[in-house]
Structure 1
Amino acid sequence: MVLTEIYDLLYRLGITANYTGFFHMGYAVKLCCERPERLLMVTKWVYPEVAKRYQTNGRAVERNIRTVGKVLWEQNRPALEQLAGRPLSDKPGNAQLLAMLSHCLLVQPASEAACSMEGRR
């Protein structure tokens, strides 16, 4: 999985590069696509790797990814629900969001309906 595909999905969801979490989320999704079992323990297996790459700490990575999830929930909930494939009663947590994005990129080509966010803003 290349980062440009992940960044493209984030842009289509309305998340832009002016959020530090954009890059943290992108790399975290890449790690989860490479080894989906990382989703079992994101605090231990994902955040430290992202923090190492961006020369920060795991807490900052967690916070920045949470911010991206909050923005997505508040500004583009229909696209998030489309990505999830169901209505969402609560904002997904970081691990859930990473799982949804990873699944979208692994199972569906970006052009297919489950991952296409065109006209959903």
Structure 2
Amino acid sequence: MEKQIKVIICADDGEWSREHIDALASRGAQVMITGRNGTTLLSKIREEKPDAVVMELFMAGLDSLGVMHAVKAEGLPRPVFIVTASYSAPTLERQVMEAGASYYAIQPYSKNEIIERIFALTGATHHANSLPASRSDLRIQVTEILHQIGVPAHIKGYHYLRDSIIMAIEEPEIINAVTKQLYPSVAKQYETTSSRVERAIRHAIEVAWDRGDVDVLNSYFGYTIHNTRGKPTNSEFIAMISDKLCLQMENVS
């Protein structure tokens, strides 16, 4: 049984059918519908502090970027943002993901798929700290952490980091053989070289360190931020994230 979550859907009348709203409610979600107006949506977020928000890329008042920037600027609890759009533009999609979106859906998309994403990304499908039911669930958890930290989704190092962290969780000993085992394994998946994987991961960490949310970085890498060592090495970064997820799994085992 999914845990109780609050979901705000910002959409025009009739855009979400009663069937889909009932599907959310039947799984334990408290669903609130608001018109396609970013200013109104932001007020609703302040009032309700939802777990997830589904909104269109462009809205009256504030667009999706404006809403996410305002949530961050005001220090509000950040919900899972799912942004929908009628077309794909790589630059715009990159801006949306960097602003805090967890998922970017291009029309036509399945409402049922959006519903599944809501529960998966909020962790409501299973206990928030439980062992992921599958590799797909683990991938979603790692993806959300990388978004929180501020690693841009459009750079190669993002994908290399995600796979490296998953490998380190599934095979903890691989963190002691980063150069000989981990980089070559990732490189094989993406048909590239170990040195390119290493450089891309280092670049992704540098970008996160320059642009990421300090509070979030501090929660994961506090000791590193507060001393003179600078950002963590590739292996430290991978080990810290994988260790944190492993500890969460052990706490409920």
TM-score range, shorter chain: 0.7 to 0.9
Q: Give the aligned residue type for 2:199.
A: R
Q: How does 1:31-70 map to 2 (within 5 A)?
A: 31-70=167-206
| CA-CA distance at 1:48 after TM superposition | 0.4
User: Whose strand fraction is larger, Structure 1's or Structure 2's?
Assistant: 2
Distance 2:150 2:231 in 1: 16
Q: List per-residue Cα deviations over 1:4-42 (Å, max 9, x = no partner).
A: 111111011111311111100000000001111111120
Q: List per-residue Cα deviations over 1:30-77 (Å, max 9, x = no partner).
A: 000111111112011100000011111101100110011101221226
**Looking at CA atoms only, which structure, 1 or 2, has the larger radius of gyration?**
2
CA contact (8 A) 1:6 1:29 kept: yes
Q: Give the aligned residue type for 1:8.
A: E
Match of 1:102 in 2: 242
Q: Give the aligned residue type for 1:102.
A: S
Q: Does 1:80 align with 2:217?
A: yes
Match of 1:17 in 2: 153
Q: Which has the higher contact order (CA 8 A, sep 6+)?
A: 1
Tell me the secondary structure at the aligned position of residue 46 of structure 1. helix
Match of 2:232 in 1: 92
After TM superposition, the score normalised by the length of structure 2 is 0.41
User: Whose helix fraction is larger, Structure 1's or Structure 2's?
Assistant: 1
Distance 2:200 2:222 in 1: 25
The percent identity for this pair of structures is 31
Q: Give the aligned residue type for 1:108.
A: Q
CA contact (8 A) 2:161 2:201 kept: yes
Structure 2 regions of 5+ residues with no counterpart? 1-134
Distance 2:176 2:162 in 1: 18
Tell me the secondary structure at the aligned position of residue 41 of structure 1. helix
Distance 2:227 2:218 in 1: 6
Aligned-CA RMSD value: 1.6
Distance 2:161 2:171 in 1: 15
Match of 2:91 in 1: none
